[in-house]
Amino acid sequence: MEDKRQKKQMDNKLGKRVRSAVIMLPLLLLLVVKGWPLFIAVTAISAAAMYEFYKVFEDAKVKVNKVSGFASFILLVAIVVLDKFIGINTPASQDLILIWLGTTIFAGFAKTLFGKEHDITAGMVTSMGVLYPAFSLMHIVFVSRVPDFSHFVWIIFIATISTDTVAYFVGGAIGKTKLCEEISPKKTVEGAVAGVIASMLCCFLFGLFFAKGNRINCLVIGLLASIAGQLGDLGASVFKRRLGIKDYSALIPGHGGIMDRFDSVMFAAPLVYYYMILFVR
């Protein structure tokens, strides 16, 4: 009886993941188109992630300065639009990003410094809401704009999806050793290792067919992006544990909200971008 109930639960979870994959398919199709459609989609996803992030902290009675946060996000979007015309990784583009980073951090703490309550937590959450979900996800666009290597944007999702899928099934089938039981009880070392191997294999195959001169780089990216993605997943779980919530929202069936679905991508996308800048391009 117990085995049947567990099998039914596994089937329900698998069904939810399949429905979630169908919902996420349009975004993956945009990776083929890239350009403005991808930018618009990433912008919308980033805004939704910021909203979810702020909302759960507001529910926990943290007085987030959403006006400051979304003003910084709008400025980031404007810089990314301008970056399309002045060229990515140019000194002018880099200076704008650095100025934006400094302004965002200051704006997040402005209310803390000059307000009556001096709520340090609110200032930290305000700045983090821009830097963690929004700026991290915008690296998807940055990767898609690297000259001659725009197709590497696929690796972000190849690494995270293969890691998540294989880790889920291997962990459920043979996982015995808990990875971080106090943070995410269902994750196992066996699943995590299997996820890393799957990511490396899938990314190497990508390099074999689409980036023959960078097969080893693709293999390394598969390793690092898988680890980064799993750290991103655990990081999001830490917030949920501390806030006492199961999901950030119920937007995507079987996966909660944008923050729940893209937590791995938020860590993997910046890693892929900066690895490309340092070692590939």
Boundaries of every domain in the chain = 1-33+148-281, 35-145
Give every CB contact of residue 251 below 8 A, 6+ residues apart in sequence. Answer: 48, 52, 257, 258
Per-residue burial over 20-35, b = 16 or more CB atoms within 10 Å of its CB, e = otherwise: beeebeebeebbeebe
Comparing 21 with 276, the larger pLDDT belongs to 276
pLDDT at 13 over 60: no
In 10 A of CB 226, how many CB atoms?
30
Give every CB contact of residue 175 below 8 A, 6+ residues apart in sequence. Answer: 188, 189, 190, 191
Tell me the per-residue pLDDT of 247-265, one tens digit each, with 9 for 90 and over. Answer: 888 776 666 788 988 999 9
Percent of the chain with pLDDT over 70: 83
Q: Are 155 and 206 in contact (CB under 8 A)?
A: yes
Reported pTM? 0.88
Q: Are 48 and 41 in contact (CB under 8 A)?
A: no
The helix-helix angle for 189-210 and 215-243 (nearest 10°) equals 140
Q: Are 28 and 157 in contact (CB under 8 A)?
A: yes
Tell me the per-residue pLDDT of 77-113, one tens digit each, with 9 for 90 and over. Answer: 999 998 877 665 666 777 888 899 988 888 777 766 7
